[in-house]
Each structure stands twice: as C-alpha cells, then as structure tokens.
C-alpha cells in the first residue's frame, strides 16, 4: 500500500499539467526559426547571469576577482568575457552557488566515472523542465508517458530483481544481476511484458543482447532509449539486431548544463533554449538555461563535441567523448573512435581497454565459444590499421564481472589513468 502511494505521488509530480505545459513549450521552441531562438536564448542567458551576479556569493566573488563588469555583458556574444568554472569550483562552493529556495532543493550526483562523484543541487522546476525535454524527444517516436516500459537503469540493486510501477506502467529490472544464470529470466520478463520501449544504459542492454544471441533468442521491442553512457557503434548494431529495434540515444550530464538528442534521421541536435554551448578542440564549455536556482555559467565539460559547420539547424557532427576515452600513443597521438575495432567480431561479447602509460595498454575481452583465432586476427588487424604496427598491448580473457563499472553500473570502453 505504501509503495503504491509513493508510486502515485512520484508519477503525479512528474507528469502533471505543469509538465504537459513544459512539453508543449519545448515543442514550440523547435518550431522557432534561428533568429527567434537566438533572441530567446540571449534573454534567458542574461536573466540567469544577472540573478547569479546579484544573489550568489560564489559568482560575486568570482567576478570581482576577475574584474568582470556585468554591465559589459550585453549578449551571448560577450560570454567569453566571463571566467570558466570547473567541477572543483562546484565541489568547493556548492552552497554558495545555490540561489533557490533552500526547502525545495534536491541533490543530484554524477556517476564518478572519471573520479570523485560530484554533488549538484536541483529544484522542482528544473527537474520538470529536464523531463519535458526528454519526453519531447520521445514523442518524436510516438512514445508517451504511461506506455509499457522496461527500465534497466540501475534503479534496483542486487537485492531486488524486479519491481512494477502501475502508474508509470514501468517494469523495473535490476541491472546489477545481469549474469548468465539469469538470462532466461530476463528474456521471459521482457517477452511477457511486451514493452514499447526499454530505457537502459547501453552496456546493460548489450549484456542482455549477448545472452539472447548466444541462445539464439530474438525479441521484438520497437525502441530502446539509451543515455548516461556513450553508445558505441558496435553496441548499437548488436542491440538493434537482437532486439529487432531502433536505438535512440540521449547525451547529457548530471549537472544538466548540456543535452543533445538523437532524432529520427539518426543525427544529434542541440536542444533549443536548454543551454549555451561553446565547442573547443578538447573540451566543451556549457551554460545551463534550465537551472535558474543552481546556475552553472561557463561550466567546463571534458567531452569533445564537434558541431556541424552549418549551425543554422543546431546539428552535431560527432560526439567524440571524454579526453580520457582515447588511447594516447608515445608520440602524443590521440586515437579515438575505438569502438569500431570491436564491431561484428564473432564470439566477442565485451571489451575494455586499460591504459596506465603511453608505451603499452591492456585489452580485457569477454568471449564465448564462437570466438576464434580468426576473430582475434580481425580485431588485431583493425587496431593496427587504426594506430599503426608499433602499438604495444597485452590481451587478457576475463569474466564479465571483471569489467570495470562505476557504482551506478556505468561502463567506459577506455579506462585511462594518464594525466
């Protein structure tokens, strides 16, 4: 009874008339032309900047230190006159950044993929706005709140295999019990529930795809919506084949300073009036427009994102990933886009690269009985073509439990400890 009451409360707080109004606004934003969006973006940016400078002790001190006169910031064109802030700033000045009602703030956490997890503050308004952008994307695929959904996103721990929320019509399955002995159970749960969509980390649903593929099983799920990890092409191909599905991805961060949505054409796009993004060679500088109570202005994100040269439709050419998602060679060369190395390799279930020095790295492989010397040669040939014959590495065959993940169960293809 208590759980049902909690589910109902959570559902209503997320999907009430205010939420529907925000979804409508997002869809209207997408219909605006470039000039209209630019005008609205400037207005939102200046509003957040002035509120932060007026009410936040952190920004008052920061701008005084750098000699910033807010009156000289007339539009987004002047944004580079403002200093950049980092995760360290947020970690050290958490309370001084927040300018909202202290009674309604909630905590959000980064996954700690690249180090110590970060705490950020959110309020109800920003949470609803985030949800509105997410569901506006899903509406492009005729997916709406209340439709049958399976969630594989770390909501349940190892102690609980499943939980059903009747109000959201969502079956939660534990992503921490994805083991070979449970494969048939997961398949049965999904087949019987017949979801319209699965929400999952790419690596979690890839593990399921491995289980089902080894058993000759095929499922039919119209859409799988991925987020929270970079989805690699080899993962996408495998998942779409086994589940007879389309993978739709969402790129974002826990700080909610940037989000990119994949649309029906398969390309990624910026979200209108979600953020201001400055793309540089090895980093992205972001300013949230949806979080007015916890303003993050010119916040550094370590991901490399390449926008299309024609910026009129806000399309993204490529999400390269974090600076530590690349191999670093002795001569300083950075090798990215490594995921293609492991695409369509018979018998290869999972791969992860560990690099502690430039001269050599380790590849951990999870394989099954179909992995052959030909499979290994194919993978090695691709590595050679990608980075040259002098590449030095060791290969180890490991179990799925040996693949490193964060506490939230997130996966990275490259684990680098090179500064």
- Look at residue 335 and tell me whether its pLDDT is greater than 90: no
CATH architecture of 326-416: 2-Layer Sandwich (3.30)
Q: How confident is the model at residue 276 (pLDDT cuts 50, 70, 90)?
A: very high
Q: Residue 388: pLDDT above 80?
A: no
More confident position, 335 or 39: 39
> What is the tens place of the pLDDT at every residue in 71-84?
999 999 999 999 99
So where are the chain's domains?
326-416
- Higher-confidence residue: 415 or 40? 40
Contacts 24+ apart (CB under 8 A), 365-373: 365/395, 365/396, 365/397, 365/398, 366/397, 366/398, 366/399, 366/400, 366/402, 366/403, 367/397, 368/210, 368/214, 370/346, 371/345, 371/346, 371/347, 372/346, 372/347
Question: Considering the chain, what percentage of its residues have pLDDT values greater than 90?
Answer: 59
* Phi, psi (degrees; rounded to nearest 5) at 295: -70, 125
How sure is the predictor about 1, in pLDDT bands with cuts at 50, 70 and 90? Answer: low
Report which listed range, 267-271, 324-328, 365-369, is most confident. 267-271
pLDDT of res. 163? 94
Angle at the Cα of 408 from the Cα atoms of 286 and 360, rounded to 5 degrees = 80
Arithmetic mean of pLDDT, 143-149: 96
pLDDT one-digit tens code per residue, 71-119 = 999 999 999 999 999 999 999 999 999 999 988 889 887 755 444 568 8
Least confident of 229-243, 310-324, 332-346, 400-414: 332-346
Whole-number pLDDT of residue 114: 44
Confidence class for position 61, pLDDT limits 50, 70, 90: very high
d(CA 79, CA 337): 31
The whole-number average pLDDT for the span 250-265 is: 95
In this prediction, residue 334 carries a pLDDT of 65
Q: What is the mean pLDDT of residues 165-189?
A: 90
Percent share of the chain, pLDDT over 70: 92
Instruction: Please tell me which residue, 254 or 197, carries the higher pLDDT value.
Output: 197
The backbone torsions φ and ψ at residue 293, rounded to the nearest 5 degrees and listed phi first, read -85, -20
**Range list of H helices, 56-201:** 57-65, 87-92, 94-97, 124-139, 183-193
Please determine, for residue 129, whether its predicted confidence score (pLDDT) is greater than 90.
yes
pLDDT at 113: 47
- pLDDT at residue 28, rounded to an integer: 94
What pairs with residue 164 in β-bridges? 171
Q: Among residues 352, 366, 364, which one has the least CA distance to residue 178?
A: 366
* pLDDT of the residue at 419: 57
Q: Worst-scoring range by mean pLDDT, 35-39, 280-284, 317-321?
A: 317-321
Q: Cβ-count burial of 13 within 10 angstroms (0-12 exposed, 13-18 middle, 19+ buried)?
A: middle
Kindly tell me if the per-residue pLDDT of 253 is higher than 70: yes
pLDDT score at 158: 73
């Amino acid at each position: 009874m208590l759980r049902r009451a909690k589910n109902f409360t959570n559902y209503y707080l997320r999907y009430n008339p205010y939420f529907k109004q925000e979804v409508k606004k997002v869809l209207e934003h997408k219909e605006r032309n470039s000039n209209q969006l630019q005008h609205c973006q400037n207005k939102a940016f200046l509003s957040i900047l002035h509120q932060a400078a007026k009410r936040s002790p952190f920004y008052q001190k920061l701008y005084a230190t750098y000699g910033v006169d807010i009156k000289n910031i007339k539009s987004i064109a002047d944004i580079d006159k403002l200093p950049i802030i980092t995760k360290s700033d947020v970690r050290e000045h958490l309370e001084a950044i927040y300018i909202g009602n202290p009674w309604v703030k909630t905590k959000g956490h980064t996954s700690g993929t690249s180090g110590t997890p970060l705490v950020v503050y959110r309020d109800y308004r920003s949470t609803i706005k985030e949800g509105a952008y997410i569901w506006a994307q899903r509406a492009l695929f005729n997916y709406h709140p209340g439709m049958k959904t399976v969630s594989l996103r770390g909501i349940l721990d190892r102690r609980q295999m499943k939980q059903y929320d009747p109000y959201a019509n969502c079956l939660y399955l534990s992503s921490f019990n994805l083991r070979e002995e449970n494969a048939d159970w997961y398949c049965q749960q999904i087949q019987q529930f017949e979801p319209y969509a699965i929400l999952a980390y790419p690596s979690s649903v890839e593990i399921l795809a491995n289980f089902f593929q080894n058993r000759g099983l095929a499922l039919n799920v119209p859409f799988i919506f991925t987020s929270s990890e970079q989805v690699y092409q080899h993962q996408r191909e495998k998942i779409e084949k086994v589940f007879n599905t389309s993978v739709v991805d969402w790129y974002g961060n826990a700080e909610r300073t940037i989000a990119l949505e994949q649309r029906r054409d398969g390309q990624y796009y910026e979200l209108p009036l979600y953020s201001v993004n400055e793309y540089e060679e090895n980093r992205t500088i972001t300013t949230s427009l949806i979080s007015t109570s916890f303003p993050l202005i010119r916040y550094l994100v370590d991901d490399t994102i390449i926008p299309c040269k024609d910026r009129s439709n806000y399309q993204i050419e490529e999400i390269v990933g974090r600076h530590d998602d690349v191999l670093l060679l002795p001569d300083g060369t950075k090798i990215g886009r490594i995921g293609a190395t492991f695409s369509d390799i018979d018998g290869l279930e999972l791969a992860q690269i560990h690099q502690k020095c430039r001269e050599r790295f380790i590849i951990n492989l999870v394989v099954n009985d179909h992995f052959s010397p030909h499979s290994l040669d194919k993978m090695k040939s691709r590595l050679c073509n990608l980075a040259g014959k002098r590449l030095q590495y060791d290969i180890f065959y490991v179990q799925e439990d040996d693949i490193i993940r964060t506490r939230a169960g997130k996966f990275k293809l490259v684990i680098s400890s090179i500064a």
